[in-house]
Amino acid sequence: GTDEPWWKTAVVYQIYPRSFADSDGDGIGDLRGILGRLDHLAELGVDVLWLSPVHPSPHDDNGYDISDYYGIDPMYGTLADFDELLAAVHDRGMRLVMDLVVNHTSDEHPWFVASRDGGPDGPLRDWYWWRPARPGTVPGTPGAEPNNWGSFFSGPAWEYDETSGEYHLHLFSRKQPDLNWENPRVRQAVYAMMRWWLERGVDGFRMDVINLVSKDPSLPDGAVPEDGRYGDGSPYYVCGPRIHEYLAEMHREVFAGHPERLLTVGEMPGVTIEQARLFTDPARAEVDMVFQFEHVQLDHGVGKFDPRPLRLPELKASLARWQTGLGEVGWNSLYWNNHDQPRAVSRFGDDGPVHRVRSATALATVLHLHRGTPYVYQGEELGMTNAPFASVEDFRDIESLNHHAHAVADGADPEKVLDALRAMGRDNARTPVQWDDSPHAGFTQGTPWLPVNPNHTEINAAAAVADPGSVYHHYRRLIALRHTEPAVAFGDFTLLLPDDERIWAFTRRHEDASGGVIELLVLANLGSEPASAPVPADWAGAEALITNHSGAAPLTSPATPLAPWEARVHRRR
Ligand code: TEU
């Protein structure tokens, strides 16, 4: 429909600047490197670029620990470089969204330095969560932490400050102290900073763990799982007591002045469908869409580093639940990949030489034909894979390094821990983008901060652009289809064959303004063996809009053969 917001027909491309393109040879990607690759993105057809953080940071968590919200880290460039990039993005008719990390700052941010060094009675003490040791304990000793919560990055969620004898809360690394959003001065400082970037021309925000900013102020102990050491604090900080109040306030104070232009997406670990409907209901004016985590946690056992096999019906059902849940009210984001997830073709597809391209394009077809705004993560459009990590020394990510240290200290088999890091570690997504088959894949003239995947000699943008059958051109066709066929963005969703272990099939139905009905049928064989897809008689012969297999058989009923990892989209009017 025409009165729908622009982002319902948009595709967002996520850039992890550190690993995208390096222009000055220091081995770290930067803003001018992105500037030099804008044509690749414009030709792909994406509408929005989301940059992971580029602000000054000690890089304890690769920039998700910000020490100055108003600057650009020198390793990425200058504010002038940023303004030039923003103008170039706008010149190409694209928009640029920043990564807003305001659940926590770096412990080197002046706010935290003042809060810590100002002592218990200092003026900024209540900008963060400071608490004395648990009553009856010796401050600074194990078990004296104010509550029993664990950090997402292993260990306790509290860091002891010798000077004051108190602890500060950090849900992530000890160098990422949580801001106290109960304090209106904190919220106003965040809103002022957001307005400053919007007035600079930025087109919105991806909001890092924004559903964690409201905590139960009593910070109660969580239940300790039988095999765990730390309490589960999530009931007290996931979608906490005042989260909707805060996001509604943020909308009034920041977004209301720019109603049509912006895209806001809240990253929300642990969010439920019911909560997501509240967050994304336009009538509530909170956020446009959320990143939920249900489908990327189905293969988690006891946590992400305990991977377990995933059956296709579970994955299909998960996405279908969110389609139904946000079908009438609210809006979905759609993703397989980002800088925190392993590469989808390795995790959900088959990244071997025979099936890599077709499994990557099958996964893309299925995702992009769901209802919601798709997010393409850098390199996903090239079918980039997980990388080989020989030993723990090859990893850079604090989440992986902390997990390895804690698990091995707790007696886990180091080889098993290493296998889990290889499968699920975030560094898999952070190896440099593979631009060509030259040394370091054209990412840098220097030594990359994280080695380039050796398979860049075959898997790279230059080869992909030159090959009409590449993953790249399939993404380009999927994005173009979203821009031309309204049923892709606005059609409803019906899952077919829910229990089939290999075939993913669903329909989309859209009634246009003149009463015409468009229906799409998506069929995909998510396995390395041939399969036969049941096809209702009234779909036989329907035109094929997109296929990932040049030898695709005509659509016949009662069944149509599908090659391994074959995916196709048909339309009937
Ligand atoms: O991620 C939040 C988050 O929940 C992830 O840490 C996720 O739990 C895990 O990585 C996947 O198993 C955001 C950012 O995307 C991430 O890069 C940061 O490390 C984190 O917040 C802290 O800012």
Encode pLDDT of 437-460 as tens digits: 999 999 999 999 999 999 999 999
Helix (H, G, I), strand (E, B) or coil at 367: helix
Question: Tokens 């979905």 label which residue?
Answer: 332
CB 427 within 8 A of CB 400: yes
208 has catalytic annotation: yes
CB 530 within 8 A of CB 502: no
* Rounded (5°) CA angle 449-451-454: 160
Helix (H, G, I), strand (E, B) or coil at 451: coil
Question: Tokens 């077919």 label which residue?
Answer: 496
Q: How far apart are CA 103 and CA 379, in angstroms?
A: 28
For residue range 497-523, list pLDDT tens digits in order: 999 999 999 999 999 888 999 999 999
Give me the architecture of the 6-103+180-215+244-387+431-471 domain, per CATH.
Answer: Alpha-Beta Barrel (3.20)
The structure tokens listed for 487 are 């049923």
Q: State yes or no: pLDDT of 141 exceeds 90.
A: yes
Instruction: Give the model's pLDDT for residue 3.
Output: 85
60 has catalytic annotation: no
* Band of residue 72 on the pLDDT scale cut at 50, 70, 90: very high
The fraction of the chain above a pLDDT of 70, given in percent, is 100
Q: State yes or no: pLDDT of 190 exceeds 80.
A: yes
Instruction: Give the model's pLDDT for residue 228.
Output: 86
Instruction: Give the model's pLDDT for residue 162.
Output: 97
| Residue 276 alpha carbon to ligand 1 centre in Å | 18
Measuring from atom 14 of ligand 1, which residue has the nearest CA? 208
Sketch the domain layout of the chain as residue ranges: 6-103+180-215+244-387+431-471, 110-169, 491-572
Indicate the CATH number for domain 491-572: 2.60.40.1180
Length of the chain equals 573
For CA atoms 324, 327, 329, 334, the dihedral sign is positive
CB 129 within 8 A of CB 215: yes
For residue range 523-569, list pLDDT tens digits in order: 999 999 999 999 999 999 999 999 999 999 999 999 999 999 999 99
- Determine which helix (DSSP H) or strand (DSSP E) holds 357, and give its type and residue range: helix 356-368
Residue 468's CB is within 10 A of a number of other CB atoms, namely 10
ipTM: 0.97
| Residue 525 alpha carbon to ligand 1 centre in Å | 31
| Residue 340 alpha carbon to ligand 1 centre in Å | 6
CB 16 within 8 A of CB 63: no
Q: How far apart are CA 547 and CA 424, in angstroms?
A: 30
Measuring from atom 5 of ligand 1, which residue has the nearest CA? 340
Of 514, 562, 517, 522, the closest CA to residue 546 belongs to 522
Q: State yes or no: pLDDT of 150 exceeds 80.
A: yes
Instruction: Give the model's pLDDT for residue 475.
Output: 98
* Rounded (5°) CA angle 155-159-161: 155
Q: State yes or no: pLDDT of 1 exceeds 80.
A: no
Report the chain's mean pLDDT, rounded to a whole number: 97
Give me the phi and psi of 517, to 5 degrees please: -110, 130
Measuring from atom 2 of ligand 1, which residue has the nearest CA? 209
What number of H helices and E strands is found in the chain? Answer: 16, 20
* Protein fold of 110-169: Oligo-1,6-glucosidase; domain 2 (3.90.400)
**Residues within a 6 A CB radius of ligand 1:** 61, 64, 101, 152, 172, 208-209, 267, 269, 304, 339-340, 399, 426
* Omega before 558 within 30 of 0, i.e. cis: yes
Q: State yes or no: pLDDT of 222 exceeds 80.
A: yes
Contacts of 342 (CB under 8 A, 6+ apart): 386, 423, 424, 425, 426, 428, 429
Q: State yes or no: pLDDT of 2 exceeds 90.
A: no
Residue 200's CB is within 10 A of a number of other CB atoms, namely 13
- Determine which helix (DSSP H) or strand (DSSP E) holds 301, and give its type and residue range: strand 300-301
Q: Which residue spans within 329-372 are E strands per DSSP?
A: 333-334
Mutate which of 54, 174, 208 to test ligand 1's pocket (most atoms within 8 Å of Cβ)? Answer: 208
| Residue 152 alpha carbon to ligand 1 centre in Å | 8
Instruction: Give the model's pLDDT for residue 227.
Output: 81
Q: How far apart are CA 281 and CA 267, in angstroms?
A: 16
Atom of ligand 1 nearest to the CA of 172: 22
Instruction: Give the model's pLDDT for residue 298.
Output: 98
Angle, helices 471-484/356-368, rounded to nearest 10 degrees: 20
- Termini Cα distance of the chain: 17
